[in-house]
């Protein structure tokens, strides 16, 4: 039972991170006029929505209740993006840098969940987490490449 509570808590933390990603990319879409970036941000938000659905399914399967909120850190970060865009004009490089920072935070959350010694992950859940982490890595790499090109 204790492991189940740890699993539910860790999955809910990842769910909140993905909620943060969706809202962060929606904010980034608002801050840019660049259609290429808008398409990318829509795709990444969609990836996170898929992650949210998968995580929610796993939480329900083990009799948990999926979190519906975002993290406190995510809320502050989106507010900071708003303020910073006022001063930087929302340049392509700056928006991509902000998004890369968000991807770093998401990747750290997945690594932290994997490394948690209090959790005995079942293979099915671990496979889902690995696929989701891979999607985050791919998004991070794309954003980093575009950011470097914009410098």
- Token pair, residue 15, equals 């769910």
d(CA 150, CA 135): 23
* Predicted TM-score (pTM) of this structure: 0.87
The residue extents of the domains of the chain are: 2-150
Please, what is the average pLDDT of the chain?
87
Lowest mean pLDDT among 5-14, 26-35, 58-67: 26-35
Q: Please give the average per-residue pLDDT across 133-149, as a whole number.
A: 97
Of 1.20.1260.10, 3.30.300.100, 1.20.120.160, 1.10.8.60, the CATH number of 2-150 is 1.20.1260.10
Return the pLDDT at 48.
Answer: 95
Q: 10 Å Cβ neighbour count for 151? A: 8
- Give per-residue pLDDT as tens, 41-92: 999 999 999 999 999 999 999 999 998 876 656 555 555 555 455 555 678 8
Return the pLDDT at 65.
Answer: 94
Residues contacting 126, CB < 8 A, separation 6+: 114
């Amino acid at each position: 039972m204790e492991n189940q509570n740890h699993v539910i808590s860790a999955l809910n933390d990842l769910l909140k991170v993905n909620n943060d990603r969706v809202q962060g990319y929606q904010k980034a879409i608002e801050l840019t006029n660049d259609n290429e970036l808008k398409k990318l941000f829509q795709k990444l938000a969609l990836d996170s929505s898929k992650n949210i659905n998968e995580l929610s399914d796993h939480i329900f399967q083990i009799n948990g209740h999926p979190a519906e909120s975002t993290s406190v850190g995510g809320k502050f970060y989106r507010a900071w993006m708003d303020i910073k865009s006022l001063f930087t004009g929302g340049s392509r490089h700056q928006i991509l840098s902000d998004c890369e920072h968000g991807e770093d935070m998401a990747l750290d959350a997945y690594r932290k969940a994997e490394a948690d010694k209090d959790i005995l992950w079942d293979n099915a859940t671990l496979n889902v987490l690995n696929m989701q982490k891979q999607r985050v890595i791919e998004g991070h790499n794309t954003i980093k490449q575009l950011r470097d090109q914009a410098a």
